[in-house]
Structure 1
């Protein structure tokens, strides 16, 4: 079958669907031809059920195809919802279009030289705590992937990127007084004046009740304390040798701090995040997906609470006291004794430090935003009936 230029050509999906219908009819007729001398009563009932199911699926797929045909890709980027400019500089439309794509957008690079040295060094660093079989397997896979890449895409001396990205890079170089960062919520890019941002950085770091400047990097000292504690756990049979090997760290880099803009609040305050882990909820949608199959016990409500500067207002001494007081309920979840458990918790809570512009800061009160232990401690304090804490938690939303 062929179509003239004036006729409407059906999509490949529509042709395939039509062919599927034809093939199904052929199979059905052939089956009936070979069984003409049998009792068709039950067999025909099965055929009728299959036909009804097929027709229902076919109808549903045709509706989806028609819906997809009516949808067209947008011809331009709408930047209003994905970029906020708090600076005093007017941004050209091309710059807005590029920045509104966000940090997760994949740039159309072609024939890019692989940073092989960086890849191999990063892989080797990640393999330090792994066993020999895992190391050999990962090295083999990485070598094969790099080799295949180099065969298909030989190294070139240049790369190609879109003109808008080039314009944006050049614009930001010429306007180095601008800072582009992420918003605290909504996956939105934020443009601010560098002087305003740095002043807000210093206001946070100069809070002497929360942070203090320290003279040197404490990473090696803390790493040794943690590794010694893990060795002690292994000696006391709290953990096996494989767990101890995986828990120990070597040549760890110091955690760094970064800031997210709270664009939904007045004066755009910043949220400090200490980059130590990936334990976080990305957005409301990821939270809903995470709890989708969670069953709420009878006579319980799942609520959302908003507490101002929650983590930096948590007393670590109170956290240790609550763990000690609730040990009868906690001990069934671990084979580590109370003394070692409290010592490990105290080490984690007292080791909140970070690097910022070649300087090191120690958090002297509260727990770090970004540390895996912080949400656990916050939940423990939140669910405990403590005097004076009742007015701290504000109910802002119910989730049925």
Structure 2
């Protein structure tokens, strides 16, 4: 506090008493707050105009991806707008408080010269504090701008290394213009809609990666027909079975309510209120010769959609408990970064062919049953009994039907790809790889990696022949022949 401030305070105390000095100190405190909040508001407005998010309102999410980032960015902008409005509200409130304090001081101090001293004192305090805080806020804003520029430069450097030619895979007869290719790379919805009006081409996401694939519609339909003509997997139906399945599910729920009631909230959640028919489509496997299709069934809005979600929530904690399970690519990299392949051995990658349509429903149900019976935390996350869960899961796995170009189909014997992946993962967790010596073995859903000298022996703990769903396990120079899917 300066000497002049001390002199003013001493004069106010001596001439007007302690109560008036308290009013002055309150006015001083309010003046400083106004200076700080005004700077804070200016800082946030500058951030909003520069499309910069202050660190204090940065959001984090376990969900990643382009769409998730857009949602987060939009939420951050909304939070910044709210903060600016809050600053304005706070400043207005403080100004009212200061005005009240100044009015009280004018009433208590009858000396006009002293009133001018108080007014000048408060104005100087506000100006000094404003400039002090302004410098700090400018430095903070400059750092945020610098960080954003560094991120942009880093992203541009990364983008320059990306082969954008692989973002759009054109396997159709149509020659795409530069503009059309750019539209497909960016995923602009309106332009994509216009491009999709061409009935001769079909635009699909690739099975793996972020590529967009353009196929001749005739080629796409032939590949889909080839998939659906597999009578060992799919069966044509004479009519839409939705009404029949709906009656079955309603019957199961009513039976439970009469004999073994379930909570009403779960009953309402799984009760079928929509009759949208599941639809099948194929995603091209561009990493394989001739880009075969992987069949996907979209069950959004179907009568089993909510029931499958309930089952998925129950089963999700049981997944990934096997010793050799790999959760994601990052964990896989950590496991193999220091891996050395001994002399005389080879690194072999396995690829499960048609995983979802190769696991029989009874085996999946049995695997889930074993996991549930040994799960000590089941009662903590669901009030459903094991018999409820298994009956509902059995119903979902046995209603694997869909429509394609007006024809209804049903999957005949195995697990459907449009349900939760959890039951598939639990089934494969029950299959162990048995070798004659110690070896490295890790698995993530479809793929597996192993270091082995001899051909592995795969047992049949899950009740089905695992080798039958693995493609070409042996290296070319193995005495028994074969080929390694994914390379050696």
TM interval, shorter chain, is 0.5 to 0.7
SS at match of 1:239: coil
**Is structure 2 residue 429 aligned with structure 1 residue 383?**
yes
Q: Which residue of 1 aligns with 2:378?
A: 333
1:309 paired to 2:373: no
Partner of 2:129: 27
1:331 and 1:338 in contact (8 A); partners too: no
Matched, 1:193 2:216: yes
* Aligned counterparts of 1:72 and 1:28: Cα–Cα separation in 2: 37
Distance 1:378 1:234 in 2: 30
CA distance in 2 between counterparts of 1:245 and 1:274 reads: 25
Higher relative contact order (CA 8 A, sep 6+): 1
2:403 to 348, 355, 362: 355
* 2:144 corresponding residue in structure 1: 61
8 A contact 2:397–2:419 mirrored in 1: no
The CA deviation at 1:223 is 1.2
CA contact (8 A) 1:331 1:337 kept: no
Unaligned 5+ segments in structure 1 are 1-10, 18-22, 32-50, 108-164, 280-295
Which 5+ residue runs of structure 2 have no aligned equivalent?
Answer: 1-44, 53-124, 158-162, 306-319, 333-349, 433-458, 474-483
**Alpha-carbon deviation of 1:306?**
4.5
Q: What is the deviation of 1:299?
A: 8.1
1:99 aligns with 2:184: yes
Q: Tell me the alpha carbon deviations over residues 113-157 of structure 1, each in whole angstroms, 9 at most, x when there is no partner.
A: xxxxxxxxxxxxxxxxxxxxxxxxxxxxxxxxxxxxxxxxxxxxx
- State TM-score, norm by structure 1: 0.57
Contact 1:277 1:371 in 2 (8 A): no
> Does the aligned pair in 1 maintain the 2:282–2:293 contact within 8 Å?
yes
Once the two structures are superposed, what CA deviation does each residue of 1:254-288 show, in whole Å capped at 9, x if it has no partner? 11111111112111011111111599xxxxxxxxx
**CA, structure 1 residues 91+348, in 2 after alignment: closer, same or farther (shift >3 Å)?**
same
Measure, in 2, the Cα distance between the counterparts of 1:273 and 1:90. Answer: 28
Task: Give, in angstroms, the shift of residue 319 of structure 1.
Answer: 1.8
Q: Which residue of 1 aligns with 2:394?
A: 346
CA distance in 1: counterparts of 2:356 and 2:173, whole angstroms:
33
**Counterpart among 235, 249, 270 of residue 212 in structure 1:** 235
The answer to whether the 8 Å contact 2:245/2:399 transfers is yes
Q: CA offset at residue 94 of structure 1?
A: 2.6
Q: For residue 221 of structure 1, give the secondary structure of its aligned residue in structure 2.
A: helix
Tell me which protein shows more helix as a share of its residues: 2
Cα offset for 1:96? 2.1
Distance in 1, matches of 2:49 and 2:249, equals 64
Taking the aligned partners of 2:418 and 2:206, their CA distance within structure 1 comes to 16
Structure 2 residue 113 is the aligned partner of structure 1 residue 90: no
Task: Compute the displacement of 1:214 (Å).
Answer: 0.7
Contact 1:260 1:270 in 2 (8 A): yes
In 2, are the aligned partners of 1:211 and 1:361 still within 8 Å (CA)?
A: yes
Name the residue aligned to 1:321.
366
RMSD: 4.5
Residue 365 of structure 1 deviates from its aligned partner by: 2.3
**Residue matched to 2:414:** 366
Superposition pairs of residues 106-121 of structure 1, within 5 angstroms: 106-107=189-190
Work out the CA distance in 1 between the residues paired with 2:387 and 2:153.
66
After TM superposition, the structure 1 stretch with the greater mean CA deviation from structure 2, 56-65 or 192-201, is 56-65
- Measured against aligned partners, the alpha-carbon deviations of 1:321-347 in whole angstroms (never above 9, x if no partner) come to 334445531485154445444332221
Q: 1:244 to 1:81 in 2, by over 3 A?
A: same
The residue number in structure 1 matching 2:99 is none
TM-score, scaled relative to structure 2: 0.48
Decide which moves more: 237-246 or 222-231. Answer: 237-246
Preserved contact between residue 278 and residue 401 of structure 2 (Cα < 8 Å): yes
Structure-2 residue corresponding to 1:123: none
Separation in 1, partners of 2:202, 2:279: 18
Is structure 2 residue 272 aligned with structure 1 residue 224? no
SS in 2 for 1:264: coil
Give 1:253 deviation, angstroms: 1.3
Structure 2 residue matching 1:80: 3-state secondary structure: helix
Q: Distance in 1 between matches of 2:274 and 2:406?
A: 18
Where does 1:71-220 land on structure 2 (aligned, <5 Å)?
80-102=165-187, 105-107=188-190, 165=191, 169=194, 176-220=199-243
The count of corresponding residues between Structure 1 and Structure 2 is: 280
Cα 1:240–1:64 change in 2 (3 A) is: same
**CA contact 1:219–1:254 (8 Å) conserved in 2:** yes
Tell me, in whole angstroms, the C-alpha distance in 1 between the residues paired with 2:252 and 2:355.
29
